[in-house]
Structure 1
Amino acid sequence: MTVGTTERTRVRKGAHKAVKDQEALYSIIDESKLAHVAFNDKRGPTVIPMLAWRIGNNIYIHGAKNSQMLKHLKNGEPCSMTFSILDAWVLARSAFHHSAHYRCAMAFGRFSVVEDNGEKSIALDAFLEQIAPGRSKEARPGNEKELTATEMLVMPLDETSVKIGRHGVNDDLADMDIDVWAGILPFRTVVGPLEPTSDNKIDEVPDYSSAYKGRWHDE
Protein backbone atom coordinates (compact mmCIF):
# COMPACT_ATOMS: atom_id res chain seq x y z
CA MET A 1 0.00 0.00 0.00
CA THR A 2 1.28 3.48 -0.86
CA VAL A 3 2.35 5.77 1.97
CA GLY A 4 -0.35 8.12 3.27
CA THR A 5 -3.32 6.81 1.28
CA THR A 6 -5.75 5.80 4.04
CA GLU A 7 -8.01 8.08 6.06
CA ARG A 8 -5.99 7.74 9.25
CA THR A 9 -2.62 8.17 7.50
CA ARG A 10 -3.63 11.33 5.65
CA VAL A 11 -1.68 14.32 6.99
CA ARG A 12 -4.13 17.09 7.91
CA LYS A 13 -2.09 19.59 9.93
CA GLY A 14 0.70 20.93 7.71
CA ALA A 15 -0.47 18.85 4.77
CA HIS A 16 2.28 20.35 2.58
CA LYS A 17 4.79 18.41 4.70
CA ALA A 18 3.25 15.05 3.78
CA VAL A 19 5.55 12.73 1.81
CA LYS A 20 4.25 9.70 -0.06
CA ASP A 21 7.61 8.22 -1.00
CA GLN A 22 8.23 4.65 0.22
CA GLU A 23 11.99 5.22 0.30
CA ALA A 24 11.53 8.20 2.62
CA LEU A 25 9.56 5.93 4.95
CA TYR A 26 12.30 3.31 4.89
CA SER A 27 15.12 5.80 5.44
CA ILE A 28 13.46 7.29 8.55
CA ILE A 29 12.89 3.86 10.08
CA ASP A 30 16.40 2.68 9.22
CA GLU A 31 18.09 5.75 10.67
CA SER A 32 15.96 5.96 13.81
CA LYS A 33 15.54 2.31 14.88
CA LEU A 34 13.67 3.61 17.95
CA ALA A 35 9.91 3.26 17.74
CA HIS A 36 7.30 4.55 20.16
CA VAL A 37 4.66 1.82 20.15
CA ALA A 38 1.14 2.95 21.06
CA PHE A 39 -1.59 0.54 22.09
CA ASN A 40 -4.59 0.29 24.39
CA ASP A 41 -4.73 -2.46 27.02
CA LYS A 42 -6.20 -2.93 30.51
CA ARG A 43 -4.00 -0.06 31.75
CA GLY A 44 -5.49 2.29 29.18
CA PRO A 45 -3.66 4.16 26.39
CA THR A 46 0.07 3.35 26.61
CA VAL A 47 3.17 4.33 24.63
CA ILE A 48 6.42 2.38 25.06
CA PRO A 49 9.73 3.03 23.25
CA MET A 50 11.15 -0.06 21.58
CA LEU A 51 14.14 -0.86 19.41
CA ALA A 52 12.74 -1.75 16.00
CA TRP A 53 14.25 -2.64 12.66
CA ARG A 54 13.11 -3.15 9.10
CA ILE A 55 13.62 -6.07 6.73
CA GLY A 56 12.01 -5.38 3.37
CA ASN A 57 8.51 -4.08 4.00
CA ASN A 58 8.25 -5.59 7.49
CA ILE A 59 9.07 -4.11 10.90
CA TYR A 60 10.36 -6.25 13.78
CA ILE A 61 10.43 -5.83 17.57
CA HIS A 62 11.60 -8.28 20.21
CA GLY A 63 11.85 -8.74 23.96
CA ALA A 64 11.32 -11.12 26.86
CA LYS A 65 8.44 -13.60 26.81
CA ASN A 66 7.00 -12.05 29.97
CA SER A 67 6.75 -8.55 28.49
CA GLN A 68 3.21 -7.30 29.10
CA MET A 69 3.29 -5.25 25.92
CA LEU A 70 4.43 -8.16 23.75
CA LYS A 71 1.86 -10.46 25.35
CA HIS A 72 -0.81 -7.93 24.37
CA LEU A 73 0.44 -7.31 20.83
CA LYS A 74 1.05 -10.97 19.96
CA ASN A 75 -2.71 -11.51 20.09
CA GLY A 76 -3.12 -9.30 17.05
CA GLU A 77 -4.34 -6.21 18.89
CA PRO A 78 -4.16 -3.00 16.80
CA CYS A 79 -1.32 -0.59 17.46
CA SER A 80 0.65 2.24 15.91
CA MET A 81 4.37 2.96 15.80
CA THR A 82 6.09 6.33 15.42
CA PHE A 83 9.69 7.03 14.39
CA SER A 84 10.99 10.60 14.77
CA ILE A 85 14.27 12.34 13.92
CA LEU A 86 15.07 15.92 14.93
CA ASP A 87 17.23 17.66 12.29
CA ALA A 88 17.37 21.32 13.37
CA TRP A 89 15.90 24.10 15.46
CA VAL A 90 14.35 26.98 13.56
CA LEU A 91 15.18 30.30 15.22
CA ALA A 92 12.79 33.04 14.11
CA ARG A 93 12.56 36.75 14.93
CA SER A 94 9.47 36.12 17.02
CA ALA A 95 9.08 33.54 19.78
CA PHE A 96 5.85 32.35 18.18
CA HIS A 97 7.53 31.21 14.94
CA HIS A 98 10.36 29.21 16.52
CA SER A 99 10.07 25.65 15.26
CA ALA A 100 12.02 22.59 14.17
CA HIS A 101 13.09 20.64 11.12
CA TYR A 102 12.17 16.99 11.55
CA ARG A 103 11.36 13.72 9.84
CA CYS A 104 8.73 11.37 11.21
CA ALA A 105 7.03 8.17 10.11
CA MET A 106 4.01 6.38 11.51
CA ALA A 107 2.79 2.84 10.91
CA PHE A 108 -0.55 1.28 11.81
CA GLY A 109 -1.26 -2.43 11.96
CA ARG A 110 -1.24 -5.67 13.89
CA PHE A 111 1.76 -7.77 14.85
CA SER A 112 2.11 -11.51 14.37
CA VAL A 113 4.49 -13.85 16.16
CA VAL A 114 7.73 -15.20 14.67
CA GLU A 115 7.65 -18.73 16.08
CA ASP A 116 10.57 -20.43 14.35
CA ASN A 117 13.95 -19.99 16.06
CA GLY A 118 15.72 -20.14 12.72
CA GLU A 119 13.68 -17.20 11.47
CA LYS A 120 14.37 -15.33 14.72
CA SER A 121 18.11 -15.90 14.29
CA ILE A 122 18.06 -14.60 10.71
CA ALA A 123 16.08 -11.50 11.74
CA LEU A 124 18.37 -10.78 14.70
CA ASP A 125 21.45 -11.19 12.49
CA ALA A 126 19.96 -8.67 10.07
CA PHE A 127 19.45 -6.24 12.97
CA LEU A 128 23.03 -6.76 14.13
CA GLU A 129 24.34 -6.12 10.62
CA GLN A 130 22.38 -2.88 10.42
CA ILE A 131 23.97 -1.47 13.59
CA ALA A 132 27.47 -2.99 13.24
CA PRO A 133 28.27 -4.41 9.77
CA GLY A 134 30.10 -7.74 9.95
CA ARG A 135 29.24 -8.25 13.61
CA SER A 136 26.93 -11.24 13.07
CA LYS A 137 29.90 -13.25 11.74
CA GLU A 138 32.08 -12.35 14.74
CA ALA A 139 29.86 -12.55 17.82
CA ARG A 140 28.50 -15.80 19.22
CA PRO A 141 25.08 -16.44 17.70
CA GLY A 142 22.05 -16.90 19.92
CA ASN A 143 21.57 -20.48 21.10
CA GLU A 144 18.30 -22.38 21.20
CA LYS A 145 17.64 -21.48 24.83
CA GLU A 146 18.15 -17.77 24.18
CA LEU A 147 16.09 -17.77 21.00
CA THR A 148 13.25 -19.69 22.64
CA ALA A 149 13.21 -17.16 25.50
CA THR A 150 12.92 -14.30 23.00
CA GLU A 151 9.53 -13.10 21.82
CA MET A 152 9.73 -11.66 18.32
CA LEU A 153 6.90 -9.92 16.52
CA VAL A 154 6.62 -8.73 12.93
CA MET A 155 4.24 -6.26 11.27
CA PRO A 156 3.94 -5.37 7.57
CA LEU A 157 4.34 -1.71 6.66
CA ASP A 158 1.03 -1.64 4.81
CA GLU A 159 -0.55 1.47 6.36
CA THR A 160 1.94 4.26 6.90
CA SER A 161 2.39 8.01 6.95
CA VAL A 162 5.44 10.25 6.51
CA LYS A 163 5.78 13.91 7.42
CA ILE A 164 8.93 15.96 6.85
CA GLY A 165 9.34 19.56 8.03
CA ARG A 166 12.12 21.56 6.36
CA HIS A 167 10.39 24.87 5.84
CA GLY A 168 13.06 27.26 7.15
CA VAL A 169 12.28 30.47 9.02
CA ASN A 170 8.73 31.72 8.58
CA ASP A 171 8.79 35.26 9.97
CA ASP A 172 5.92 37.73 9.69
CA LEU A 173 6.67 40.72 7.48
CA ALA A 174 6.07 43.02 10.45
CA ASP A 175 8.96 41.33 12.30
CA MET A 176 11.59 41.50 9.55
CA ASP A 177 13.22 44.65 10.96
CA ILE A 178 13.67 43.25 14.49
CA ASP A 179 17.37 43.27 15.37
CA VAL A 180 17.79 39.59 16.30
CA TRP A 181 19.61 36.72 14.59
CA ALA A 182 17.37 34.38 12.59
CA GLY A 183 18.24 31.10 10.95
CA ILE A 184 18.71 27.36 11.40
CA LEU A 185 20.50 25.57 14.25
CA PRO A 186 21.32 22.09 12.86
CA PHE A 187 20.89 19.17 15.20
CA ARG A 188 22.35 15.73 14.46
CA THR A 189 23.32 12.50 16.16
CA VAL A 190 27.04 11.69 15.95
CA VAL A 191 28.03 8.02 16.17
CA GLY A 192 31.33 6.88 17.74
CA PRO A 193 34.16 6.65 18.42
CA LEU A 194 33.99 3.15 19.91
CA GLU A 195 34.73 2.74 23.63
CA PRO A 196 36.28 -0.70 24.42
CA THR A 197 35.65 -2.59 27.65
CA SER A 198 38.48 -2.72 30.19
CA ASP A 199 38.93 -6.46 29.54
CA ASN A 200 38.86 -6.15 25.74
CA LYS A 201 41.24 -8.67 24.09
CA ILE A 202 41.19 -7.22 20.57
CA ASP A 203 43.60 -4.41 19.73
CA GLU A 204 42.24 -3.70 16.26
CA VAL A 205 39.26 -1.35 16.33
CA PRO A 206 36.42 -2.54 14.03
CA ASP A 207 35.04 -0.16 11.44
CA TYR A 208 31.25 0.22 11.55
CA SER A 209 31.13 3.61 9.86
CA SER A 210 29.43 2.27 6.71
CA ALA A 211 26.17 1.92 8.69
CA TYR A 212 26.19 5.61 9.64
CA LYS A 213 26.80 7.65 6.49
CA GLY A 214 27.01 11.35 7.36
CA ARG A 215 26.79 10.64 11.10
CA TRP A 216 30.13 8.96 11.87
CA HIS A 217 32.16 11.05 14.31
CA ASP A 218 35.15 11.79 12.05
CA GLU A 219 33.28 12.47 8.81
Structure 2
Amino acid sequence: MDNAPPLSPTARSTIRRGAKRARTDRATLYALLDSCLICHFATIRDGVPLVVPTGYGREGDKLYLHGSTGAASLMDAAGTAPISINVTRVDGVVYARSVFHHSMNYASAVIIGEAVPITASTDKLAALRVITEHIAPGSWNATRQPTRKELAKTGVLAISLHEASVKMRSGPPGDDEEDLSAHREWAGVLPLHQQWGAPQPCPLLPADTPVPDRVSKRPLPGEPAPSPSGTGHRLT
Protein backbone atom coordinates (compact mmCIF):
# COMPACT_ATOMS: atom_id res chain seq x y z
CA MET A 1 0.00 0.00 0.00
CA ASP A 2 3.05 2.30 -0.20
CA ASN A 3 1.79 3.75 -3.48
CA ALA A 4 -1.77 4.30 -2.22
CA PRO A 5 -2.96 7.90 -2.35
CA PRO A 6 -2.98 9.76 0.99
CA LEU A 7 -6.11 10.56 2.92
CA SER A 8 -7.94 13.89 2.77
CA PRO A 9 -7.96 14.24 -1.01
CA THR A 10 -10.82 16.77 -0.88
CA ALA A 11 -11.68 19.94 1.02
CA ARG A 12 -14.60 18.34 2.85
CA SER A 13 -12.53 15.41 4.13
CA THR A 14 -9.66 17.55 5.40
CA ILE A 15 -9.54 17.84 9.21
CA ARG A 16 -9.26 21.43 10.41
CA ARG A 17 -10.36 21.37 14.04
CA GLY A 18 -7.68 19.52 15.99
CA ALA A 19 -5.64 19.06 12.82
CA LYS A 20 -2.63 17.85 14.82
CA ARG A 21 -4.60 14.66 15.55
CA ALA A 22 -5.22 13.93 11.88
CA ARG A 23 -3.60 10.93 10.22
CA THR A 24 -2.93 10.92 6.52
CA ASP A 25 -1.78 7.37 5.74
CA ARG A 26 -4.20 4.75 4.50
CA ALA A 27 -2.61 2.00 6.58
CA THR A 28 -3.97 3.73 9.70
CA LEU A 29 -7.45 3.92 8.15
CA TYR A 30 -7.40 0.24 7.21
CA ALA A 31 -6.16 -0.79 10.66
CA LEU A 32 -8.93 1.19 12.35
CA LEU A 33 -11.65 -0.27 10.13
CA ASP A 34 -10.30 -3.77 10.69
CA SER A 35 -10.30 -3.28 14.48
CA CYS A 36 -14.01 -2.40 14.75
CA LEU A 37 -17.25 -4.22 14.01
CA ILE A 38 -19.89 -1.49 13.78
CA CYS A 39 -20.13 1.62 11.64
CA HIS A 40 -22.78 4.35 11.53
CA PHE A 41 -23.89 5.72 8.19
CA ALA A 42 -25.87 8.92 7.70
CA THR A 43 -28.43 9.68 5.02
CA ILE A 44 -31.17 12.25 4.54
CA ARG A 45 -34.77 10.95 4.73
CA ASP A 46 -37.67 13.34 4.17
CA GLY A 47 -35.33 16.23 4.82
CA VAL A 48 -34.16 14.84 8.17
CA PRO A 49 -30.70 13.35 8.90
CA LEU A 50 -30.90 9.65 9.73
CA VAL A 51 -27.98 7.77 11.34
CA VAL A 52 -28.06 3.96 11.26
CA PRO A 53 -25.64 1.45 12.82
CA THR A 54 -24.68 -1.65 10.87
CA GLY A 55 -21.97 -4.26 10.42
CA TYR A 56 -19.54 -3.93 7.54
CA GLY A 57 -16.56 -5.46 5.84
CA ARG A 58 -13.51 -4.03 4.09
CA GLU A 59 -11.72 -5.35 1.04
CA GLY A 60 -8.81 -3.26 -0.14
CA ASP A 61 -9.98 0.30 -0.67
CA LYS A 62 -13.68 -0.56 -0.56
CA LEU A 63 -16.21 -0.85 2.27
CA TYR A 64 -19.30 -3.06 2.05
CA LEU A 65 -22.57 -2.54 3.94
CA HIS A 66 -25.60 -4.81 3.86
CA GLY A 67 -29.20 -4.94 5.02
CA SER A 68 -32.72 -5.87 4.00
CA THR A 69 -33.74 -4.74 0.53
CA GLY A 70 -36.89 -3.38 2.17
CA ALA A 71 -34.99 -1.18 4.64
CA ALA A 72 -35.67 2.49 3.99
CA SER A 73 -32.22 3.48 5.23
CA LEU A 74 -30.53 1.18 2.73
CA MET A 75 -32.66 2.53 -0.13
CA ASP A 76 -31.84 6.09 0.90
CA ALA A 77 -28.14 5.28 1.06
CA ALA A 78 -28.27 3.84 -2.44
CA GLY A 79 -29.56 7.13 -3.84
CA THR A 80 -27.66 9.65 -5.93
CA ALA A 81 -26.45 11.77 -2.99
CA PRO A 82 -23.24 10.75 -1.17
CA ILE A 83 -23.47 9.27 2.30
CA SER A 84 -21.22 9.69 5.31
CA ILE A 85 -19.89 6.78 7.39
CA ASN A 86 -18.24 6.92 10.80
CA VAL A 87 -16.26 4.26 12.65
CA THR A 88 -14.96 5.07 16.13
CA ARG A 89 -12.93 3.06 18.64
CA VAL A 90 -12.62 4.32 22.22
CA ASP A 91 -9.29 3.39 23.82
CA GLY A 92 -9.70 5.09 27.18
CA VAL A 93 -11.08 7.98 29.24
CA VAL A 94 -8.69 10.85 29.98
CA TYR A 95 -9.04 12.29 33.50
CA ALA A 96 -7.61 15.79 33.71
CA ARG A 97 -7.10 18.32 36.50
CA SER A 98 -9.85 20.44 35.00
CA VAL A 99 -13.21 19.55 33.52
CA PHE A 100 -12.28 21.39 30.34
CA HIS A 101 -9.39 19.04 29.57
CA HIS A 102 -11.19 15.78 30.28
CA SER A 103 -11.19 13.80 27.07
CA MET A 104 -11.00 10.36 25.49
CA ASN A 105 -8.27 8.46 23.74
CA TYR A 106 -9.78 7.28 20.49
CA ALA A 107 -9.42 6.56 16.80
CA SER A 108 -12.14 7.77 14.44
CA ALA A 109 -12.67 7.69 10.69
CA VAL A 110 -15.16 9.53 8.51
CA ILE A 111 -15.78 8.30 4.98
CA ILE A 112 -17.76 10.20 2.35
CA GLY A 113 -18.84 8.66 -0.92
CA GLU A 114 -21.52 7.31 -3.17
CA ALA A 115 -23.06 4.02 -2.07
CA VAL A 116 -23.18 1.79 -5.14
CA PRO A 117 -25.64 -1.14 -5.04
CA ILE A 118 -24.15 -4.58 -5.75
CA THR A 119 -26.72 -6.42 -7.87
CA ALA A 120 -24.98 -9.31 -9.66
CA SER A 121 -25.35 -12.52 -7.63
CA THR A 122 -21.66 -13.46 -7.82
CA ASP A 123 -20.55 -9.98 -6.79
CA LYS A 124 -23.11 -9.87 -3.99
CA LEU A 125 -21.96 -13.23 -2.65
CA ALA A 126 -18.35 -12.07 -2.74
CA ALA A 127 -19.23 -8.90 -0.82
CA LEU A 128 -21.30 -10.81 1.74
CA ARG A 129 -18.35 -13.11 2.27
CA VAL A 130 -16.16 -10.09 3.05
CA ILE A 131 -18.72 -8.81 5.59
CA THR A 132 -19.20 -12.24 7.18
CA GLU A 133 -15.49 -12.92 7.47
CA HIS A 134 -14.94 -9.53 9.08
CA ILE A 135 -17.68 -10.00 11.68
CA ALA A 136 -17.38 -13.77 12.22
CA PRO A 137 -14.10 -15.07 10.70
CA GLY A 138 -14.25 -18.62 9.36
CA SER A 139 -18.05 -18.72 9.21
CA TRP A 140 -18.51 -18.36 5.45
CA ASN A 141 -17.15 -21.81 4.61
CA ALA A 142 -18.30 -23.43 7.87
CA THR A 143 -22.01 -22.63 7.56
CA ARG A 144 -24.77 -22.81 4.94
CA GLN A 145 -24.47 -20.40 2.02
CA PRO A 146 -27.30 -17.94 1.24
CA THR A 147 -30.19 -19.29 -0.83
CA ARG A 148 -31.46 -17.44 -3.88
CA LYS A 149 -34.41 -16.20 -1.85
CA GLU A 150 -32.17 -14.95 0.96
CA LEU A 151 -29.85 -13.31 -1.54
CA ALA A 152 -32.80 -11.54 -3.17
CA LYS A 153 -33.86 -10.17 0.24
CA THR A 154 -30.39 -8.83 1.00
CA GLY A 155 -29.13 -5.51 -0.27
CA VAL A 156 -25.39 -4.81 -0.47
CA LEU A 157 -23.73 -1.44 -0.96
CA ALA A 158 -20.12 -0.66 -1.86
CA ILE A 159 -18.45 2.61 -0.84
CA SER A 160 -15.00 3.69 -1.98
CA LEU A 161 -12.53 4.67 0.75
CA HIS A 162 -11.01 7.32 -1.53
CA GLU A 163 -12.50 10.25 0.40
CA ALA A 164 -11.79 9.65 4.08
CA SER A 165 -10.27 11.23 7.15
CA VAL A 166 -8.82 9.75 10.33
CA LYS A 167 -8.42 11.47 13.67
CA MET A 168 -6.76 9.98 16.75
CA ARG A 169 -5.90 10.93 20.31
CA SER A 170 -3.58 9.10 22.69
CA GLY A 171 -1.55 9.85 25.78
CA PRO A 172 -2.08 11.69 29.08
CA PRO A 173 -4.23 14.77 29.75
CA GLY A 174 -3.13 18.10 28.34
CA ASP A 175 -3.61 20.21 31.43
CA ASP A 176 -2.86 23.93 31.63
CA GLU A 177 0.44 24.81 33.28
CA GLU A 178 -1.22 26.60 36.20
CA ASP A 179 -3.35 23.53 36.99
CA LEU A 180 -0.32 21.25 37.35
CA SER A 181 0.79 22.89 40.59
CA ALA A 182 -2.52 24.29 41.84
CA HIS A 183 -4.53 21.05 41.82
CA ARG A 184 -3.66 17.71 43.40
CA GLU A 185 -6.56 15.67 42.03
CA TRP A 186 -5.65 12.39 40.32
CA ALA A 187 -5.09 12.74 36.60
CA GLY A 188 -4.31 10.16 33.96
CA VAL A 189 -5.91 7.64 31.62
CA LEU A 190 -8.31 4.79 32.34
CA PRO A 191 -7.68 2.42 29.39
CA LEU A 192 -10.53 0.58 27.74
CA HIS A 193 -9.75 -2.85 26.27
CA GLN A 194 -11.79 -5.28 24.19
CA GLN A 195 -12.10 -8.94 25.08
CA TRP A 196 -14.39 -11.82 24.23
CA GLY A 197 -16.44 -13.62 26.87
CA ALA A 198 -17.07 -17.36 27.08
CA PRO A 199 -19.10 -18.74 24.13
CA GLN A 200 -22.80 -19.19 24.95
CA PRO A 201 -24.22 -22.12 22.95
CA CYS A 202 -27.66 -22.10 21.39
CA PRO A 203 -30.01 -24.01 23.73
CA LEU A 204 -31.11 -26.16 20.77
CA LEU A 205 -27.60 -27.58 20.26
CA PRO A 206 -26.87 -31.14 21.41
CA ALA A 207 -24.90 -30.98 24.66
CA ASP A 208 -21.79 -32.59 23.17
CA THR A 209 -21.48 -30.18 20.23
CA PRO A 210 -17.90 -28.88 20.19
CA VAL A 211 -17.19 -25.16 20.06
CA PRO A 212 -15.15 -24.57 16.89
CA ASP A 213 -11.80 -22.86 17.09
CA ARG A 214 -13.15 -20.01 14.96
CA VAL A 215 -15.33 -19.15 17.98
CA SER A 216 -13.35 -20.32 21.03
CA LYS A 217 -10.03 -19.00 19.73
CA ARG A 218 -11.42 -15.94 17.98
CA PRO A 219 -8.88 -13.10 17.98
CA LEU A 220 -9.98 -9.57 18.67
CA PRO A 221 -10.97 -7.54 15.59
CA GLY A 222 -7.91 -6.46 13.69
CA GLU A 223 -5.69 -9.19 15.14
CA PRO A 224 -4.44 -12.05 12.92
CA ALA A 225 -6.41 -15.28 13.03
CA PRO A 226 -4.71 -18.33 14.56
CA SER A 227 -3.72 -21.26 12.37
CA PRO A 228 -6.52 -23.85 12.08
CA SER A 229 -6.03 -26.82 14.38
CA GLY A 230 -8.50 -29.49 15.35
CA THR A 231 -12.26 -29.30 15.42
CA GLY A 232 -12.62 -27.27 18.60
CA HIS A 233 -13.46 -27.73 22.26
CA ARG A 234 -16.43 -29.64 23.62
CA LEU A 235 -18.88 -27.95 25.91
CA THR A 236 -18.69 -28.95 29.55
Same fold (TM over 0.5): yes
Quick one: percent identity of the two aligned structures? 32
* 1:12 aligned residue: 16
1:122-137 → structure 2 map (5 Å cutoff):
122-137=126-141
Q: Give 1:162's match in structure 2, choosing from 156, 163, 166.
A: 166
Deviation of the 1:56 alpha carbon: 1.3
Question: What SS does structure 2 have at the residue aligned with 1:3?
Answer: coil
* 1:198 aligned residue: 203
* 2:190 aligned residue: 185
Go from structure 1 to structure 2 and tell me whether the alpha carbon gap of 1:45 and 1:23 turns closer, same or farther (over 3 Å shift).
same
Give CA-to-partner distance per residue, 1:22-80, whole Å, 9 cap, x none. Answer: 01111111222311111223142221112221111111111111111111222332111
Question: What SS does structure 2 have at the residue aligned with 1:152?
Answer: strand
2:36, 2:221 within 8 Å by CA — same for their partners in 1? no
One-letter amino acid matched to 2:210: E
Give 5+ residue unaligned stretches, structure 1. Answer: none
Query: For the aligned residues, what is the CA RMSD?
Result: 1.8
The whole-number CA distance in structure 1 between the counterparts of 2:160 and 2:154 is 20
Q: Give 1:61's match in structure 2, choosing from 20, 43, 65.
A: 65
Larger displacement relative to structure 2 (90-99 or 126-135) = 126-135
Give 5+ residue unaligned stretches, structure 2. Answer: 224-236
* 1:113 aligned residue: 117
* 1:23 aligned residue: 27
* 1:176 aligned residue: 180
Larger displacement relative to structure 2 (65-74 or 194-203) = 194-203
Deviation of the 1:126 alpha carbon: 2.3
1:129, 1:135 within 8 Å by CA — same for their partners in 2? yes
One-letter amino acid matched to 1:141: Q
1:147 and 2:151 aligned: yes
2:42, 2:52 within 8 Å by CA — same for their partners in 1? yes
* 1:97 aligned residue: 101
One-letter amino acid matched to 2:94: V
4+ long deviations beyond 4 Å: none
The whole-number CA distance in structure 1 between the counterparts of 2:221 and 2:153 is 34
One-letter amino acid matched to 1:204: P
One-letter amino acid matched to 1:132: A
Larger displacement relative to structure 2 (47-56 or 18-27) = 47-56
Question: What SS does structure 2 have at the residue aligned with 1:54?
Answer: strand
1:84, 1:102 within 8 Å by CA — same for their partners in 2? yes
Give CA-to-partner distance per residue, 1:182-217, whole Å, 9 cap, x none. Answer: 1110012222321111122353222234541698xx
Question: What SS does structure 1 have at the residue aligned with 2:211?
Answer: coil
Question: What SS does structure 2 have at the residue aligned with 1:120?
Answer: helix
Instruction: Give TM-score, length-normalised by structure 1.
Output: 0.91
Instruction: Give TM-score, length-normalised by structure 2.
Output: 0.85
1:4, 1:160 within 8 Å by CA — same for their partners in 2? yes
